[in-house]
Amino acid sequence: MSQDNIFREVDEELRSDRMRAFWRRFAPYVIGAAVAVVALVAVNEGWSWYHSNNAAQSSDELYAAFDLIEGGDLPAAQAALDKVIADGSGRYPTLAEFRKAGVLAKAGNTAEAVAAYDALANSLDNIRLRELALVLAGNLLIDTGSLADVQSRVETIATDGNPLRNAAREALGLAHYKAGDFAAAQTSFEAVVNDPMAQSSTRNRMGYYLAQLVSEGVIAADAPAATSADDAANAIDQIVSDDAPAADSAEPAAPASPAATNETAPALQ
């Protein structure tokens, strides 16, 4: 055997010994890392399954509560919503809290509903959800609170660029009307009418409010906005007249009122 072959065999043996020694030294770490990766993947998959399963269950429970509300069983609906709030996952507890406040309002517990909306506005991390809670509370306070109560909740929202600006402006306008500040009410309603992003149904509702202000003689009838308001109100009256059953020819038709329209807005009183 040549010297080259002998040296090659010795070198290969040394390399083999080094590899065995290296493996013996680091094998526990390599195996541990592999086990950790497998465990992490298993935990992640398990958590995803658990979260998805809980989210689906929370969704089913929330819709079951909605069905109870539609059926008029408000106590049972509140109990179902409380369960979602306590045990639900994801955003479902937040949705349940909003709906529970609505159920309180529907049951006539306005003060409790306003308190629930205020609590949401003070606790949520999403600014739009906080603003939504404030607008909903402000709407409840139009009839039961003061102008200051409504202003403190929605005035900062009724600004250009805010997605909820027109809902806030409507609440402000109605609160100003109730307080007898008709010029401020007109300004709020006209801001909605002149907003190019406002929906046509919302504009029509504001037009009806303005037409009522004109009919009461508290704003000028010759203003351009008032003319638009009359047109909107006449259009709504026409829709109501077309939908209403024909009256006896001997009896004159009664004029339509805001409460008779298909809109679900609060009527000026």
What letter would DSSP give residue 141? Answer: H
With 0-12 CB in 10 A as exposed, 13-18 as middle and 19+ as buried, what is 253?
Answer: exposed
Any domain includes 36: yes
* Domain span including residue 42: 10-47
- Give me the pLDDT at residue 29, please: 60
Any domain includes 187: no
Does the model's pTM come out above 0.75? no
Rounded to a whole number, what is the largest CA-CA distance in the chain?
132
- Give me the pLDDT at residue 217, please: 87
Read off the pLDDT of residues 57-88 as tens digits, 9 standing for 90 and up.
877 888 888 888 888 888 898 898 888 888 88
Read off the pLDDT of residues 168-192 as tens digits, 9 standing for 90 and up.
999 999 999 999 999 999 999 999 9
Any domain includes 245: no
Any domain includes 28: yes
Low-confidence residues of the chain, pLDDT below 50?
Answer: 7, 46-47, 49-50, 226, 239-240, 243-265, 267
Any domain includes 18: yes
Any domain includes 77: no
- Give me the pLDDT at residue 185, please: 94
Q: How many domains would you assign to the chain? A: 1
Any domain includes 97: no
Any domain includes 40: yes
- Give me the pLDDT at residue 64, please: 86
**12-17, long-range: CB < 8 A, 24+ apart:** none
- Give me the pLDDT at residue 264, please: 40
The closest alpha carbon to 241, from 211, 215, 259, 261, belongs to 261
